[in-house]
């Protein structure tokens, strides 16, 4: 055996798990490598060499694992052959059985991996579809809120103006007809009337419209019943009198109309008793 030399004279690529071409034992240039030297050498290598060393180690471990599985398969084949020989049946081919076992394991592993990947893909597709649907719904909701904020921003202010319109209409309705033609009052009346018309025009330009449901069927969603009025000219349950008109802003109710609802008139008790009045006890009408 040749004399041992220090670690510094070694090839830096040699070590456990590497495939570097080095002289074998007994050949010129062969040097023994101790485990400690190999460990220190691998630790001092660059990152690329360390990664290659790790890859070689993984390959060797996989080879050892494959050899172990092959040994197990061979043992199983021998056991099967022994059982077949004992029972008098022909023994199966060891190589075919081992190949079939490996193919079965590979197919099973590939099938499991494909099924897991397909399930994950479907789950991600479903999650993506739900996320997109939530984003569309949120966008629609924000757009609707923006439109409503723009359309109904003056709702509170408009509702306060309705009382002004009511007072102007009450002032016009309370004016007697003979005073409307009086020169001293007619100008004042015309001024109030023009003011009321201009206010209604301003409300309409803002999307606010007035409605008077007289003669319509009572609708609790748009009408506010203030009382009942007996009437034989309209059907019961119909609006007989409008006390205050209703208003709508765009497609929403701003204020319900205050109305009196018609009801069937009560029968006259005297008419049912007859023209002679109610019968007196103890008096025979035929006599």
3-state SS, 130-166, equals HHHHHHHHHHHHHHHHHHHHHHCCCHHHHHHHHHHHH
**What pLDDT is attached to residue 276?**
54
Q: How confident is the model at residue 151 (pLDDT cuts 50, 70, 90)?
A: confident
For range 1-20, the mean pLDDT = 44
Q: What share of the chain is helix, strand, coil (3-state, %, to 5)?
A: 55, 10, 30
Q: How confident is the model at residue 9 (pLDDT cuts 50, 70, 90)?
A: very low
User: Has residue 250 got a pLDDT over 80?
Assistant: yes
The C-alpha atoms of residue 91 and residue 84 are separated, in whole angstroms, by 5
Q: Which residue has the higher pLDDT, 168 or 2?
A: 168
User: Has residue 16 got a pLDDT over 60?
Assistant: no
Those residues with Cβ within 8 angstroms of residue 179's Cβ, 6 or more apart along the chain or in another chain:
185, 189
Q: How confident is the model at residue 135 (pLDDT cuts 50, 70, 90)?
A: very high
**What pLDDT is attached to residue 32?**
53
For range 51-56, the mean pLDDT = 56
User: Has residue 217 got a pLDDT over 50?
Assistant: yes
For range 227-246, the mean pLDDT = 90
User: Has residue 46 got a pLDDT over 50?
Assistant: no
Q: Which residue has the higher pLDDT, 175 or 107?
A: 175
Q: What pTM did the predictor assign?
A: 0.48
Provide the mean pLDDT of the chain.
74
**What pLDDT is attached to residue 262?**
92
For range 270-285, the mean pLDDT = 53
Q: Write out pLDDT tens, residues 86-103.
A: 766 554 554 555 555 555
Per cent of the chain over pLDDT 90 is: 29
Handedness of CA 232, 234, 236, 242 (dihedral sign): negative
User: Has residue 161 got a pLDDT over 70?
Assistant: yes
The C-alpha atoms of residue 199 and residue 194 are separated, in whole angstroms, by 9
- Between the CA atoms of 202, 205, 211 and 212, what dihedral angle is there, to the nearest 10 degrees? 30
Nearest to 157 by CA among 193, 206, 209: 206
Q: Which residue has the higher pLDDT, 231 or 90?
A: 231
**What pLDDT is attached to residue 7?**
42
For range 253-271, the mean pLDDT = 84
């Amino acid at each position: 055996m040749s004399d041992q030399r220090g670690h510094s004279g070694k090839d830096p690529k040699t070590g456990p798990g590497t495939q570097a071409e080095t002289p074998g034992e007994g050949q010129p240039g062969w040097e023994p490598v101790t485990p400690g030297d190999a460990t220190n050498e691998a630790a001092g290598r660059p990152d690329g060499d360390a990664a290659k060393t790790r890859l070689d180690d993984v390959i060797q471990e996989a080879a050892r694992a494959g050899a172990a599985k092959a040994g197990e398969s061979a043992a199983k084949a021998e056991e099967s052959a022994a059982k077949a020989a004992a029972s008098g049946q022909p023994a199966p081919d060891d190589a075919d059985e081992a190949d079939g076992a490996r193919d079965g394991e590979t197919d099973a592993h590939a099938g499991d991996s494909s099924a897991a990947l397909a399930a994950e893909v479907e789950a991600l597709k479903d999650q993506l579809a739900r996320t997109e649907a939530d984003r569309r719904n949120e966008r629609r909701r924000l757009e609707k809120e923006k439109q409503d904020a723009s359309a109904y921003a003056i709702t509170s202010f408009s509702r306060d103006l309705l009382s002004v319109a009511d007072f102007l209409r009450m002032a016009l309705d309370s004016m007697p007809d003979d005073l409307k033609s009086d020169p001293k009052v007619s100008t004042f009346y015309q001024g109030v009337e023009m003011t009321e018309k201009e206010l209604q025009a301003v409300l309409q330009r803002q999307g606010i419209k007035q409605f008077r449901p007289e003669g319509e069927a009572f609708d609790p969603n748009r009408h506010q019943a203030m009382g009942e009025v007996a009437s034989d000219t309209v059907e019961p349950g119909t609006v007989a009198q409008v006390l205050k008109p209703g208003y709508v802003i765009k497609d929403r109710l701003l204020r319900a109309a205050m109305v009196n609802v018609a009801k069937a008139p009560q029968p006259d008790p005297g008419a049912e008793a007859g023209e002679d009045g109610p019968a007196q006890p103890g008096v025979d009408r035929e006599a």
